[in-house]
Amino acid sequence: MSHEYDKTQEALSRLTDAQFRVTQEGGTEPAFRNEYWNNHEPGIYVDVVSGQPLFSSTDKYDSGTGWPSFTKPISTDAVRSVTDRSHGMIRTEVRSAGADSHLGHLFDDGPAHAGGERYCMNSAALRFIPVSELEKQGYGEYLSLFGTAGVRTEEDTP
């Protein structure tokens, strides 16, 4: 299935001030005071601007930093990296491939057994879709990540 994950004026107009500041202006939200840093529910995280699938809860871990952290993106072409020289340091910025939303930064201090990378993301750049909603919201192809492909929900049962 082919998807276009572009940034549109309509999508931008639906963003909250915090979402706009993070995704469009490269902002950062406060550690431990954001929606998903402590979310342990199974599901996927998509770009709040375009809906592009970015990360899976199967790759999420508690980094102790106060931001949602992942060992890898949901697919290699979901995100792109850019050198960020702001704030007097050199970091690797992570942006969504489709809408070019600022998501957060990539660090090399992640779990060694999972490749050693930490994708430290801003909750404000993400929208979480629980496993129970994947099919309904058009992301059914990701059910297999959770071993639930073909599982019927209550709504599907006659």
130 in a structural domain: yes
pTM of the model: 0.90
- Residues with a catalytic annotation lie at 120
pLDDT tier, 143 (very low <50, low <70, confident <90, very high otherwise): very high
158 in a structural domain: no
How many domains does the chain divide into?
1
62 in a structural domain: yes
Q: How many separate helices (H) and strands (E) can be counted in the chain?
A: 2, 9
Burial of 131 (0-12, 13-18, 19+ CB in 10 A): buried
β-strand 118-121 against 102-107: which pairing, if any? Answer: antiparallel
Percent residues over pLDDT 90 in the chain: 83
122 in a structural domain: yes
pLDDT at 148: 59
Q: Which domain holds residue 92?
A: 9-136
149 in a structural domain: no
157 in a structural domain: no
Q: Rounded mean pLDDT of 55-80?
A: 97
Summary mean pLDDT of the chain: 91
CATH at residue 15: 2.170.150.20
39 in a structural domain: yes
Digit-coded pLDDT (tens) for 79-133: 999 998 887 888 899 999 999 999 999 999 999 999 999 999 999 999 999 999 9
125 in a structural domain: yes
Is 147's pLDDT higher than 90?
Answer: no
pLDDT at 39: 97
Instruction: State the residue for tokens 């375009």.
Output: 50
Q: Rounded mean pLDDT of 55-61?
A: 98
